[in-house]
Amino acid sequence: MSNSKVFGSTLIIAGTTIGAGMLALPIASAGLGFSTSLMIMVGMWALMAYTALLMLELHQHADYDATLHTLAKQFLGEKGKWIATFAMLFLFYALCAAYIAGGGGQFNAKLYNWFSLDVSSGLGTVIFTLLIASIVTFGTHSVDRVNRVLFTCKLIAMATMLFFLTPNIEAVNLVNMPLEKGLVVAALPVIFTSFGFHGSIPAVVRYLELDMKALKKVMLCGSLLPLIVYILWQFATLGVVNQATLSQASDVSSLVNILSQVIHNSMISQIVSVFADLALITSFLGVSLGLFEFLGDSLNKRQTKKGRVAIAFVTFLPPLGFALFYPQGFIMALGYAAIALAILAILLPVAMVVKSRQQHHETQAFTVSGGKPALIFTLLMGVVIIGVQLLISAGVLPAIG
């Protein structure tokens, strides 16, 4: 396998992860404090890296172009297939809706500030969605090439942003404790979702032609890079802005405005805004690619040009409709996405691996370490995350953002 493909695949995984979730992290962590949010982030990364390896263990017993839809049917039968299908569609559409809602507003602002084009918010959102859709429709290779450029620009923007933010960090802001105990639990779904990249795994497996050695490297490095970036981002944002002020942020735009006001630097506003745009776009590309491939596999229309265009309509129209009618649904969509992500990235992989190990225990070339205790603990974490989100929806736990 060429190093270029491995590098590009790593960036697809990292780019999918470092997106809208990253922008939501300071909002979700505002009431937690830096040390508490750091421990939760490390735990969530370890959980998601482990389940990504579980997915690779499953893929070694399936066709190289298998999606979660086909894996679930292979190992869990028709019921598993329909559970996977419903959860996958719910997750991908919720995430795409969040990215369109967050990215559409930012795109509109750029059209006005850079080109003096005063278009309606709805039209700007539609144009933004069409640009992403055109890239995804061409396939994984197209997403890979575009994502490399955008990811590089994103890292440059982040380095510049940290350069301006770091001198303004106040130690007192980093030692804050949670404002209330309920927030520690309530933040779990959003932080968990911030490490979600599993929807892109089948596309990467296909792209690397089931090269297990390369795939393991891609999953671990591709997920570790976002953790490092998240820690630096949390250190800067939670260290610069006091807890009370940051707790008032409810979406991407308000977070950008708060950071700009605290720093009192005209350049930081533009840099943070550009970074927010790039983070949303790279994550949107990875997630929508996963949805596109999933629908193509389910409807068997991926091979022809006409079929790909039809799948593009099915992929992007539903989340676009949500974003147009509920543009403030950024954090809400990410929260509900945690339920579907817990099913797809935790519950289903664990169930399928148990079945797979029963069927292939003598011929299995790659087995994730940890045994039954690790699988049981992972399963319990998935149940906890789903339970927390349901309690938030019922008003028992405080809502984030």
**Percent of the chain whose pLDDT exceeds 70:** 91
Its pTM surpasses 0.75: yes
**Percent of the chain whose pLDDT exceeds 90:** 15
Residue 395 neighbours by CB distance under 10 Å: 8
Amino acid at 269: S
Domain residue extents for the chain: 3-393
**One-character DSSP codes across 339-353:** HHHHIIIIIHHHHHH
pLDDT (average), residues 233-250 = 78
The pLDDT value recorded for residue 212 is 86
Q: CA-CA distance, 18 to 20, in Å (whole number)? A: 7
Distances (CA, A) of 214 to 2, 203, 220: 9, 14, 10
Are residues 20 and 282 in contact, defined by beta-carbon separation less than 8 angstroms? Answer: no
Helix 330-342 and helix 68-115, axial crossing angle in degrees, nearest 10: 160
Q: Could you please state the CATH topology (level 3) that the domain comprising 3-393 is classified under.
A: Amino acid/polyamine transporter I (1.20.1740)
Amino acid at 21: G
The pLDDT value recorded for residue 291 is 84
- Decide if pLDDT at 126 tops 80: yes
pLDDT (average), residues 23-46 = 84
Among 294, 5, 285, 300, residue whose Cα is nearest residue 138: 285
Express each pLDDT in 146-163 by its tens digit.
Answer: 888 888 888 888 888 888
Higher pLDDT, 205 or 268: 205
The pLDDT value recorded for residue 20 is 59
Mean pLDDT taken over the chain? 82
Backbone φ/ψ region at 242: left (φ over 0), alpha (ψ -120 to 50), beta: beta
Q: CA-CA distance, 116 to 99, in Å (whole number)? A: 24
Which range has the top average pLDDT, 268-272, 275-279, 285-289, 387-391? 387-391
Among 19, 288, 28, 279, residue whose Cα is nearest residue 143: 288
Are residues 18 and 279 in contact, defined by beta-carbon separation less than 8 angstroms? Answer: yes
Higher pLDDT, 182 or 81: 81
Among 345, 370, 387, 353, residue whose Cα is nearest residue 195: 345
Residue 378 neighbours by CB distance under 10 Å: 20
CA triple 109-113-117, angle to 5 deg: 80
Higher pLDDT, 338 or 179: 338
Query: Alpha carbon 114 to chain centroid distance?
Result: 28
Distances (CA, A) of 94 to 14, 98, 118, 370: 19, 6, 28, 32
Q: Which residues contact 228 (CB under 8 A, 6 or more apart)?
A: none
Residue 34 neighbours by CB distance under 10 Å: 19
pLDDT (average), residues 222-240 = 88
Express each pLDDT in 245-276 by its tens digit.
Answer: 777 766 666 777 777 777 776 677 778 778 77
pLDDT band at 50 (very low <50, low <70, confident <90, very high): very high
Higher pLDDT, 186 or 45: 45
Count of residues in the chain: 401
The pLDDT value recorded for residue 325 is 79
Express each pLDDT in 335-368 by its tens digit.
Answer: 677 888 899 899 999 999 999 888 877 667 788 8
